[in-house]
Amino acid sequence: MELHERWKAVLRIQKFRRMVSYAGFYCFVACLNYAYTSNTTRAGFSRADQFYASYPAGTELLTDTAKLYKAALGNCFEEEEWGPIEFCIMAKHFERQGKPPYAYHAQYMAHLLSHGQLDGSG
């Protein structure tokens, strides 16, 4: 009888260890899955570069103008080197593309950098 009780105790311990092992494996896979899906690319773009994807349309302009301008001008200049002429070019570019928020922002930057001489009237 004592042998039978010891055997049941061993089986309980083994069952407990197996459950703990499965739970640990589940947590490991869940963490791995989270890390993979949150840090990999989506459509070729890193998810780190899509931090404004949940904002309303047009507000990405408020967060990432440097990337926008550099992409549009083909990385000709560093943004710190830009003057009113470059921003005027961008304003015209965005007007032709039908993107008024971008055009407005470029026009505003041209106005600031020209110390008020360019008012956007043409």
Could you read off the pLDDT tens digit of each residue along the chain, which spans 122 residues? 788 888 888 888 888 888 888 999 999 999 888 877 776 665 556 666 555 555 555 555 556 666 676 666 665 666 677 788 888 888 888 888 888 888 888 888 888 888 878 776 65
Residue 10, φ and ψ in degrees, nearest 5: -65, -45
Q: Quote the pLDDT of residue 47.
A: 60
Q: Quote the pLDDT of residue 21.
A: 87
Residue type, 81: E
Q: Are strands 41-42 and 45-46 parallel, antiparallel or unpaired?
A: antiparallel
pTM of the full predicted structure?
0.38
Q: Quote the pLDDT of residue 56.
A: 57
Q: Quote the pLDDT of residue 16.
A: 86
